[in-house]
Structure 1
Amino acid sequence: MYTTAVGTAFQPIAPGRIHRWGGARLVVARFTDLQQAPFLSPAEQRVVHGLPARRQAEWRAGRLLAKRLAGEALSVPAHEVEVLPRDDGSPYVLVGGSPVADVHVSISHTARRVAAALAPEAVGVDLCETVSAAAVRRVADRVFSPGELSLIGTGRPDALAGAWALKEAAVKADRSSIFGAAPRLVEILGLRPPVLAGRRRATVWRAGGAVLALVLAHFPGPAG
């Protein structure tokens, strides 16, 4: 059953410092506040040099934050951490050239901000600028069910941005895509507080002119 529509704004999150929620570590920053360039391994350099020039700065910014989170969580220097893409594009953490088990990472960018999250279970993070609400509204019927649209409404940019960020973060945790059928399989039951169907926990913050969603998904291991 859907809960009532969101009635107040999301709580703000402070940029630049590491936050903890539900076992996850999370950091969000404005691009203009990131002066330090991350140390990139040869493998990471090959990835970033293969990207279009307009994407290279945001890729580096995301890795800077992800390496910071992983370094703190694993008690290793951030420059010893690699964050590389899998075949499906999702990031994963390596130390000393070896993947780190039970450490999951997610990264998100907008034109103004970048965020990274790290957790011992599947995690997804997403930023959506409230100025993107009109674009979300145009594709709402493809992403949200009628019940979700009734819950969210279409008149509040922050609610639309929050709902989109929740869907995007959830499909990232599932290592899927916001395009196609996957978003419809993630049901939003509440927006404030955020509630998702299935074995998922979620939270949403306001990050300046954007909305930031974090989703943790617990998937049962193989039987036997």
Structure 2
Amino acid sequence: MTPGTDTRPGVFRPITPGHPHRWGGALLAVARRGDLDRAPALSALSALSALSAAERRVADVLPARRRAEWAAGRLLAKRLAGELLAVPEDGVEVLPRADGSPYVLVGGSPVAGVHLSLSHTPGHVAAALAPEPVGVDLCETSSADAVRRVADHVLSPRELALTGTDRPEALAGAWALKEAAVKADRRGVFGAAPRRVAILGLCPPVLGGRRRAMVWQAGGAVLALVLAPGAGRP
């Protein structure tokens, strides 16, 4: 069966939260928000106080309800960057560009050749680093009904057919793939950009162009990773 005819995707492969994984040259991790403070591997970076002064300035202007999510994503990214670059985690900063996309600094200087993407929901956080443009996105399975209400703006009729009508994880996966792809392109999920990313198959995920993608089930969320060589803006 070709990817384009897969109208009944199976369950996405599970991914273990709290541990780094490698896929396609990317290093990624997903964690449950409630586990961040308890996981030994993350305990050293489990509080807002672990943020640098520059990171705290960004966090301080966020609404209180978003501040903890934002910080959790950065702390997870610090752990991954420390492992990838073999540097102390407390020497890593994650700051936003003018367009809001994150980038990595070590010792106050941007790190060349390392692309970063982050995603956070009320229940989960995820981070991915790669030597090429990368996008990562989480969508809670419980959000499938909300996604369906706006899906016509992002998914084509053919893509909606791939998700079926009774598979909330499939709809969450399609949405997460679109979000991850436009993050790799450093574009927004609303507007014309998502329509230019064609989902040709969902399980396994296949996207148009040179993009490579994977989708996992992460507890109550679906996690999508997209690598897009040559994408992004300088």
**Structure-1-length-normalised TM-score:** 0.95
Match of 2:165 in 1: 154
Alpha-carbon separation, structure 2, partners of 1:28 and 1:34: 10
Shift of the alpha carbon at 1:220?
Answer: 7.2
Shift of the alpha carbon at 1:8?
Answer: 1.4
Change (3 A) 1:6 1:138: same
What does 1:113-152 align with in structure 2 at a 5 Å threshold?
113-152=124-163
Change (3 A) 1:76 1:188: same
Alpha-carbon separation, structure 1, partners of 2:224 and 2:150: 19
Alpha-carbon separation, structure 2, partners of 1:154 and 1:221: 34
CA-based RMSD: 1.6
Q: Could you tell me which amino acid in structure 1 is paired with residue 47 of structure 2? A: A
Task: Find the partner of 2:120 among 109, 116, 125.
Answer: 109
Alpha-carbon separation, structure 1, partners of 2:185 and 2:26: 16
What does 1:191-210 align with in structure 2 at a 5 Å threshold?
191-210=202-221
Shift of the alpha carbon at 1:221?
Answer: 10
1:94 pairs with 2:105 = yes
Match of 2:47 in 1: 37
Match of 1:168 in 2: 179
Task: Find the partner of 1:5 among 4, 7, 12.
Answer: 7
How many matched pairs? 222
Q: Deviation string for 1:9-30 (max 9, x for gaps)?
A: 0111001000000010111111
Alpha-carbon separation, structure 2, partners of 1:221 and 1:141: 25
Alpha-carbon separation, structure 2, partners of 1:42 and 1:7: 45
* Structure 1 gaps, min length 5: none
**Structure-2-length-normalised TM-score:** 0.91
Identity %: 72
1:57 pairs with 2:68 = yes
User: The residue matched to 2:29 in structure 1 has which SS?
Assistant: strand
Contact 1:137–1:154, Cα closer than 8 Å, also in 2: no
Q: Deviation string for 1:106-141 (max 9, x for gaps)?
A: 111111111111111101100101111111111111
Alpha-carbon separation, structure 1, partners of 2:89 and 2:69: 18
Change (3 A) 1:18 1:150: same
Match of 1:185 in 2: 196
Worse-matched range after superposition: 151-160 or 166-175: 151-160
Shift of the alpha carbon at 1:34?
Answer: 1.0
User: The residue matched to 1:177 in structure 2 has which SS?
Assistant: coil
Alpha-carbon separation, structure 2, partners of 1:133 and 1:177: 20
Shift of the alpha carbon at 1:42?
Answer: 1.4
User: The residue matched to 1:2 in structure 2 has which SS?
Assistant: helix
Q: Deviation string for 1:77-118 (max 9, x for gaps)?
A: 011011000011100001111111110111111111111111
Q: Could you tell me which amino acid in structure 1 is paired with residue 198 of structure 2? A: E
Shift of the alpha carbon at 1:153?
Answer: 2.2
Worse-matched range after superposition: 74-83 or 1-10: 1-10
Q: Could you tell me which amino acid in structure 2 is paired with residue 82 of structure 1? A: E
User: The residue matched to 1:93 in structure 2 has which SS?
Assistant: strand
Q: Could you tell me which amino acid in structure 1 is paired with residue 129 of structure 2? A: L
Q: Could you tell me which amino acid in structure 2 is paired with residue 12 of structure 1? A: P
Shift of the alpha carbon at 1:66?
Answer: 0.3
Task: Find the partner of 2:21 among 19, 39, 43.
Answer: 19
